[in-house]
Amino acid sequence: MADKANRVCVIGLGYIGLPTASILATKGYDVIGVDVQRRVVDTINRGEIHIEEPGLDLLVKSAVNSGKLKATVEPEAADVFFISVPTPLTEDKAPDLSYVEDASRALTPFLKPGNLVILESTSPPGTTDDIVAPIVAESGLTLGEDLFVAHAPERVLPGHILREAVENDRIVGGIDPRSTQAAADFYATFVGGTIFSTDARTAELAKLTENAFRDVNIAFANELSLLCSQMEVNVWELIELANRHPRVNILRPGPGVGGHCIAVDPWFIVHRAPDVTPLMATARRVNDGKPHFVVERVRQRAQRLIDPVIVCLGAAYKADVDDLRESPALEIAHALNQANLGEVLVCEPFVRQLDGLENVAVQDALKRADIVVALVPHRQFKRIDPELLKEKILIDTCGLFNTPLEHRKF
Ligand code: SAJ
């Protein structure tokens, strides 16, 4: 069926859906992009974008101008349907699959024989088999015979989405072998990486495993930073030394783990099997506890000064992006601001305005600073003149000012 596919309907035009829709449009598919927000639909139809991602503005503009990408609020008939909607967590860390359910229901009336439905949203194991498949089967079509359903988790790194969406290897897992084959054939038309086929449940768990693996590894680095703080050891030096071992590769401690993925996905596993996943649950707690630890460190230092100026370097969730979603740096800046320890200034060069916080140019802020809290290792902070940091209290949570071991080699 994939050879004949020429019309694709992408439901959810966020960080994954919009890049995917525009890549497919530039590959020659007729793409209908669907989003429940009218504002998003209107923005895209003007050839503009509502999210930040390098290169996406030009790609969307050319896809819309060529007539190959059109956004609407309702699905339309197509050969392939993509579901790329959010899968957030509820307050008690359970997966909220209501957007997946809504999207599946919304596309069902438009299904016809030979269609392929692909769930790209990161999802708990069983979502494709137990939620998407039964809903789309209400179309009356027979699963595995004239309707194919598969999961193909997205694995792109924010900031590099356009390249990784095409170059990364992909995992596709259908609800049955024919669905897997149909999805693999379709991805082969626009993905340069290798496509690996499996079943839907394994594909779902593989994606979650990748992010849980990273979370556990970052938690180890963050735990080391707590240990080193107590023992008055330089954690950066310690990690660099340990990493000289040929089979050790410790990640970097930071102010916490942010973004939409790594801080969320391990909970999908833990929620499903809490009895056998204490390590993943603990890693989440270690990483979630890190912002609080940083705030307490700043508090201890600030309380010894009268009305200190506290400068936070960075607010984004990681280096060299403008994304503030679930950012531990932003959480710390807000907490310091509310703690009334002194005046809090934030330097976030990637963002113009920060709600409730004063965003100031680096040079101006550092001239006034008593305490400097390095939160995000943005490239441009690495060029800060050391003279500007003299006689300041420096709390470096992300190794921004660490001197690499290379400089101290015999
Ligand atoms: N972080 C550290 N120390 C490190 C590495 C990262 O503290 O050594 C922090 C970052 O500062 C950030 C958070 O972890 O706050 C997550 O950043 P990240 O760059 O590790 O990952 P994301 O969330 O931007 O993207 C991840 C990627 N997954 C993996 O690398 C396994 C990406 O490939 C996924 O597609 C994405 O999640 C997703 O959508 O699931």
Closest residue by Cα to residue 13 from 88, 87, 82, 89? 82
Is 347 annotated in the active site?
Answer: no
Which atom of ligand 1 is nearest to 318's Cα?
A: 11
Among residues 9, 68, 261, 318, which one is catalytic?
261
Whether 2 has a pLDDT exceeding 70, the answer reads: no
Is 207 annotated in the active site?
Answer: yes
Percent of the chain clearing pLDDT 70 (strictly above): 98
pLDDT band at 52 (very low <50, low <70, confident <90, very high): confident
157, 223, 288, 381, best to mutate for ligand 1 pocket (most atoms within 8 Å of CB): 157
pLDDT digits (tens, 9 = 90+) for 212-267: 999 999 999 999 999 999 999 999 999 999 999 999 999 999 999 999 899 999 99
Give the whole-angstrom CA distance, residue 212 versus residue 204.
Answer: 13
Helices (H), 232-312: 235-242, 265-272, 278-302
Average pLDDT, the chain: 95
Closest residue by Cα to residue 369 from 353, 356, 352, 384? 384
Q: Which two tokens stand for residue 223?
A: 């735990």
Closest residue by Cα to residue 395 from 255, 258, 287? 255
Percent of the chain clearing pLDDT 90 (strictly above): 93
pLDDT digits (tens, 9 = 90+) for 151-196: 999 999 988 999 999 999 999 999 999 999 999 999 999 999 999 9
Question: Which residues' Cβ are closer than 6 Å to ligand 1?
Answer: 122, 154-158, 210-211, 214, 218, 251-252, 254, 257-259, 261-262, 317-318
Give the whole-angstrom CA distance, residue 91 versus residue 105.
Answer: 25
CA angle 358, 361, 362 (to 5 degrees): 110
Would you state the pLDDT for residue 408?
66
pLDDT digits (tens, 9 = 90+) for 87-137: 999 999 999 999 999 999 999 999 999 999 999 999 999 999 999 999 999
Give one DSSP letter per residue of 198-232, joined into a string. Answer: EEHHHHHHHHHHHHHHHHHHHHHHHHHHHHHHHHT
Which atom of ligand 1 is nearest to 252's Cα?
A: 8
Which atom of ligand 1 is nearest to 122's Cα?
A: 40
Closest residue by Cα to residue 7 from 25, 26, 34, 23? 25
Whether 406 has a pLDDT exceeding 80, the answer reads: no
Among residues 207, 290, 312, 398, which one is catalytic?
207
